[in-house]
Chain A
Amino acid sequence: MRRLLDIIRRSFSARLSLWVLLWAALIFIGSLIYVSVVTRRSIREQTITGATRVLENTELRLNRILDDVENMADNLEWLVYRHLDSPESMLEYSRTALQGNHDLIGCSISFEPDFFPGYHYFSAYTSRADDEVVTTQEGNDDYQYFYLDWYLLPKILNQPCWTEPYSDWDYDDDATLQTDMMVSYCKPLTGDDGSFIGSISLDLSLKWLSETISAVKPYTGSYCTLLSRGGTYMVHPNPEKLFYQTIFTRSLVDPDPERDGLGHSMLDWNTDFQEVMLDGVDSYVFYKPLKNTGWSLAIVCPEKTIFGSFNRIRRILSTLLILGLLLMFFSCIRVVGRSVKPLRELAAEAGRIASGDFEHRIPRIDRSDEIGALSRSFDDMQSSLVSYIDELKSTTVKRERIEGELRIAHAIQMAMVPTVFPPFPERKELDIYASMTPAKEVGGDLYDFFLLGDSLYFCICDVSGKGIPASLVMAMMRNLFRVYAKQGQSPLEISMSLNDNLSEENEHMMFVTAFFGRLDLKSGLLEFCNCGHNPPVLIPADGGAPAFLECEANTVIGVCPGWKYKGQSIKDFRGCKLFLFTDGLNEAENCSHEQFGDQRLLAVLNRQQRASAEDTVREMIDALSDHVGDAEASDDLTILCLGLSAGKKQK
């Protein structure tokens, strides 16, 4: 199953075919159900109409038979009353009845015991066997007719009535027992005073009646049945039921409310139809009472007979539908599979390209449909891809070269600044440490220092912009700083010289913020000139709080040629520390775009008053790292810290 699902998941044609099959099945099955329901309803209505018509015709036919019998009884009654003084006439009248109505098999004109003088029993009876009509007086000690139904019923009810089915028996010439089931129409005879004097009984053979009615079959497999007042089957195609069972017999051991309901409804003389299971067969039963008899006539139509043709057609349609859907499914798989075969090939070829074989040529599909367009697009894409890859290779080579050069530039740049600490081991009074971290391979920051006699020249600069242009300016700044410094210029003079120099032909308007200083290690005199750079922090010798150094508002270098810079000085720097930095420190942002800021900077320095320059710088870098976290550095970071020991001052 999992394998099948896997195939379906991976096969576009199987998936598409399944969807087509699903929707086609839904549409076809829905249509089939709709047609089935409508057709079935129509057949059902036709059945009801047809069966009702047949039932009414059968009822008319039966009523004609029964009416003839009842009319014969009326005629006999008239004759009997005219000759009540002549018992012999009764024999003749009884014979006349059978000769006048060939449906009858027997006629009895019977009287109360001792009604006729000289006769204790008198029952004039005529019966028909084959074509022979036999008349006898049959009352005797062995045959006391006045205890029998056909005599007692009209006597007790005092009105004409039909009996329940009963059996008649006799022996034929071979002394073989012969029986016949019959019903009798009985009519009471009354004397002048209204008292009962006897009865007329006319017998109908149920076998004959059953054969007559059983011929009525509105549908193949349907049958007609007739229930007596007591539910006995007077007409039924099943010999085991006919005369021997009632509609309730089965319920004695296996009650069935549906079947019993049908029986009660029929015996209540209702006219109706009902869907019910009879003898394990779903059937439609149409029934109506027969007048004056208490009997109920019914036509039973098995559902499979009524809907036989319909069910057969539906089965055929269903089979065709299933076969059609399967055919459609497999055809769909085949057609779609054939259609997407170029796609599979395309996918395979594309896979080769994806694996790195960019030169592999995709076979061209000469089709004008979407797949052809896709193939052409793939072809174009491959050409573009090859060109792009070639270009990328070239670009990559160039970039690698540039990166290599940048790495060299970085090394050169880092070599430009002092990186060995302590730089002047012999000058124990001087404590200096610096750090520079470019944001890119090369940066625009600069720090530098060197000794010229007892004077320590130092500077920190920040060139506008980043990268190679800034680094070139930085290199130029470093060289010019050293040249001017070695000429013995003061920081103010260096600032002005550099400004004039950089301002010339500064088409790109690149500028530099800088802080130049010269510290006399003997006297502790610190001269400095701040050219638009962040004011450094002075950590005083007296243990006071670190504070930003008050600096003149000089402009940056490289923008305004001839600018009159103002220099400043601290007479005795001994015991103090000066912390210089670029804006890569105080303006560094964390992921929340929160800057490191001056306050954090001062707080760190406050904790590092007694620390060495190196520890101060490292602690500051650590604090900055904690603050920035995973945020990418956006600017070069340069820190320079220098201090002059107080011991020199004491000397």
Chain B
Amino acid sequence: MKNGRHILAILTLAALMPAALCQAQTKKSELDTFIFSPQWSAQAQFAGYYVAKEKGFYEEEGLDVQIVHPFSTQTAEDRLRRGVSHAATLTLTEAMSIVDDGLPLVNILQTSMNSAILLVSRYGGDPMKLRGAKVVTWRAGFGQTAKCIASQSHLSYQWITAASCVNLFIAGAVDATLAMSYNEYNQLLQTGLIKPGEGVYRFSEHGFNIQEDGVYMTRTAFNRSRSKAEAFARASRRGWEWAAEHPEETLEIVMEYVRSMRIPTNRILQSLMLDEILRLQLDPDTGTRDFRLRPDMVRQASGLMAKEGLLSREVKYEELLP
């Protein structure tokens, strides 16, 4: 705190960026480097990218990929908009919001094939029956789908936007929280406040199974460095496939990132996260790891958001393709 730059980051969301990268990123991004920003702090959610970097898959593609995690108050979206990162991971709904907002994006790699969003009640019952309840969602904006469904169900939730959902839930400040099945849900389980399977609403099990994480670039950046983008996507996909085949070694790599960035998490949480992330990458219809954007899911998400006024128009599947 000597330099006066003070950021308070939530325990579970601490976003740490190596200083050298932070200072050098602007100059290097236009040279031979490829700046990539996951939408969260270091964790197993991004294991495939860590693997691709540590195993030299990016180098083999001729890329000097630098993984720069965002701040908790400065999202990957912000970095993408400002052009400080070549690519960033976004959820499909986030990407559509940005496209609707006038910034064309290109999906260069789709990793998630299923929705991980859950709604968790602190009272153990069905959270979709808590009319007027205080429900916390991320500022990062992963909760669009949940907001649409709650609106359709006339639940009149009081949405509270926070950098982190878990601690408000623990403090008893909210009745329910949105949670990712691979992250916050396990964090909540390890508080002992909820029991496995109780008070949980899985959107994927109620007709709202919409893909989430994908790697996006602005269309401008993509057009400028298409070959780099394709090389990054190839190497990243290879990283994920290797991670699926070597989960234990992958976990070791993840923990190295976690430790170097002093993320307050633990091996058990990261192990559970990796398992869940790899499960979510399997296509619900084929059971295979396809790494593709599905037109039906894009159509469903776009229609849902447009209907609820979160989009001014329906964003087409083709708009997101390279």
Q: Which residues of A contact B (CB under 8 A)?
A: 106, 125, 127-130, 132, 134, 136, 138, 142-145, 147-150, 152-153, 156-157, 161, 163-173, 175-179, 181, 228-232, 240, 243-253, 260, 263-264, 267, 294
Flag the segment in B13-21, B57-65, B238-246, B304-312 that touches A.
B13-21
Question: Could you list 14 A-B pairs, sorted by A, with CB under 8 Å?
Answer: A129-B2, A138-B6, A147-B162, A148-B163, A169-B9, A171-B5, A177-B16, A177-B18, A181-B264, A231-B190, A232-B11, A245-B268, A252-B190, A253-B271
* 10 further interface pairs, Cβ-Cβ under 8 Å (given A157-B172, A231-B192, A232-B191): A132-B2, A142-B71, A147-B139, A167-B14, A167-B264, A168-B9, A169-B14, A177-B262, A228-B170, A230-B193
Nearest CB in chain A to that of B265: its residue: A244
In the complex, chain A residues whose CB is within 8 Å of the CB of B265: 244
CB contact between B134 and one of A129, A156, A175, A246 (< 8 Å): that residue: A156
The 6 closest A-B pairs by CB, nearest first: A175-B19, A230-B170, A230-B191, A156-B173, A166-B11, A127-B1
Indicate if the CB atoms of B190 and A147 lie closer than 8 Å: no
Q: Interface code B255-273, partner A: CB below 8 Å = 1, 0 otherwise?
A: 0000001101110110110
Q: Does B31 contact A (CB under 8 A)?
A: no
In the complex, chain B residues whose CB is within 8 Å of the CB of A152: 160, 162, 168, 173
C-alpha gap A267/B193 in the complex (Å): 9
Instruction: Give the shortest distance, in Å, between B84 (CB) and chain A (any CB).
Output: 12
A-B contacts counted at CB < 8 A amount to 170
Nearest CB in chain A to that of B188: its residue: A230
C-alpha gap A171/B163 in the complex (Å): 22
Q: State whether A153 and B173 are in contact (beta carbons under 8 Å apart), knowing that A166-B167, A170-B5 are contacts in the complex.
A: yes
Q: Which residues of B contact A (CB under 8 A)?
A: 1-11, 14, 16, 18-20, 23, 71, 73-74, 134, 139, 160-164, 166-168, 170-174, 186, 189-193, 261-262, 264-266, 268-269, 271-272
CB contact between B10 and one of A166, A175, A230 (< 8 Å): that residue: A166
In the complex, chain A residues whose CB is within 8 Å of the CB of B167: 149, 153, 163-164, 166, 230
Instruction: Give the shortest distance, in Å, between B166 (CB) and chain A (any CB).
Output: 8
Instruction: Give the shortest distance, in Å, between B115 (CB) and chain A (any CB).
Output: 22
Indicate if the CB atoms of A249 and B269 lie closer than 8 Å: yes
CB contact between A145 and one of B8, B166, B174 (< 8 Å): that residue: B8
Indicate if the CB atoms of A148 and B8 lie closer than 8 Å: yes
In the complex, chain B residues whose CB is within 8 Å of the CB of A248: 189-192
Interface centre among B8, B160, B173 (most CB of A within 10 A): B8
CB contact between B173 and one of A134, A157, A251 (< 8 Å): that residue: A157
C-alpha gap A251/B1 in the complex (Å): 36
Indicate if the CB atoms of A172 and B2 lie closer than 8 Å: yes
In the complex, chain A residues whose CB is within 8 Å of the CB of B191: 230-232, 246, 248
Indicate if the CB atoms of B262 and A179 lie closer than 8 Å: yes
Nearest CB in chain B to that of A254: its residue: B268
Q: State whether A143 and B162 are in contact (beta carbons under 8 Å apart), knowing that A156-B168, A177-B16 are contacts in the complex.
A: no
C-alpha gap A168/B173 in the complex (Å): 22
Instruction: Give the shortest distance, in Å, between B1 (CB) and chain A (any CB).
Output: 4
Nearest CB in chain B to that of A175: its residue: B19
Indicate if the CB atoms of A125 and B171 lie closer than 8 Å: no
In the complex, chain B residues whose CB is within 8 Å of the CB of A231: 190-192
C-alpha gap A457/B248 in the complex (Å): 133
In the complex, chain B residues whose CB is within 8 Å of the CB of A164: 11, 166-167, 170-171
C-alpha gap A247/B16 in the complex (Å): 26
In the complex, chain B residues whose CB is within 8 Å of the CB of A260: 192
